[in-house]
Amino acid sequence: MTCPGCEAWRTGITLKVPDSDAEGVRRSLASARSVHWLDATSVLMPPDVFVARAAYWQAFFDTRAWRVEWEGPDGGDGAARPFDAFVGGLPSLWVDELLARRAIRMAMQPIVDLTKRTVVACEMLVRATASDGSFISPHALFEAAREPSRLFALDRACRIEAIATASRLPADWDVFVNFVPTAIYAPEHCLQSTFAAAERHAVHPSRLVFEVVETERVDDVAHLRDILAFYRRPSLEVPDGSVAWLPRA
């Protein structure tokens, strides 16, 4: 006997990956709900879960051998398709266009030490403009990215732009960078681009102070603890193989 609710839940996207990638994919889906591993290398998930992680998988895996099957009333016929071709055919969204234009900018809010009467840090605040030059509020930007599940790409772009902007500040100022914990699936992967940006712009990681955005509701507290524990490790191997002190959380 089957449950009608379960049958409806099973409508979705099946991702098939090589054995060598299965554990990494499993870890990236650890905080996701409504995913079902069919066997060691095949996982069924709702379309929004797939879309949320597609950019992440392409950034950190060789996806050329990956395959996707999409079944359902509004999906496909269940035939296997190459992962990259399938992702390339996903609907284009204005958030993607904005990221492609590199329209993310940072406003800098000074943080003052009143005892010394000097600026000691800056908090980076996200700003964005539409193609016609009009202002896009941060709330509208992140809500739009959340709806089509573009938070991973947007959050990464904001962290990188914050670090690039920090390179123009005095070297003894701390830099406060907001992040969305639900956009970080596996810290050792998702934060590679952050530390690569710090190296590229000569911003020492010890200057970086990461904050959870105030508007973010954290349902998976254990996952947030894992991210913060990674931040607080005493050292990290950065892309060039050297060891740098980690930022503070």
Which of 36-45, 67-76, 86-95, 106-115 has the least mean pLDDT?
A: 67-76
Per-residue confidence at 108, pLDDT binned at 50, 70, 90? very high
The CA-based angle 42-56-153, given to 5 degrees, is: 145
Instruction: State the Cα–Cα distance between residues 212 and 238, nearest whole angstrom.
Output: 23
| Portion of the chain with pLDDT greater than 70, in percent | 81
Q: Sign of the C-alpha dihedral, residues 211, 100, 199, 195?
A: positive
Q: What is the pLDDT of residues 231-243, one digit of tens each?
A: 666 555 544 444 3
Q: What is the pLDDT of residues 65-94, one digit of tens each?
A: 999 998 754 445 678 999 999 988 776 567
Instruction: State the Cα–Cα distance between residues 32 and 24, nearest whole angstrom.
Output: 14
Predicted TM-score (pTM) of the model is: 0.69
CB atoms < 10 A from the CB of 219, how many?
11
Instruction: State the Cα–Cα distance between residues 243 and 188, nearest whole angstrom.
Output: 14
Contact call for residues 189 and 131 (beta carbons, < 8 A): no
Tell me what pLDDT residue 191 has: 76
Tell me what pLDDT residue 130 has: 77
- Checking if the pLDDT of 7 tops 80, the result is no
Mean pLDDT of the chain: 81
The CA-based angle 228-231-234, given to 5 degrees, is: 130
CA atoms within 13 A on the CB side of 14: 19
Which of 119-123, 148-152, 177-181, 212-216 has the least mean pLDDT?
A: 212-216
Instruction: State the Cα–Cα distance between residues 80 and 78, nearest whole angstrom.
Output: 6
Report which residue type is found at 192.
Answer: Q
- Checking if the pLDDT of 245 tops 70, the result is no
Percent helix, strand, coil in the chain, to 5, is 40, 25, 35
Per-residue confidence at 216, pLDDT binned at 50, 70, 90? low
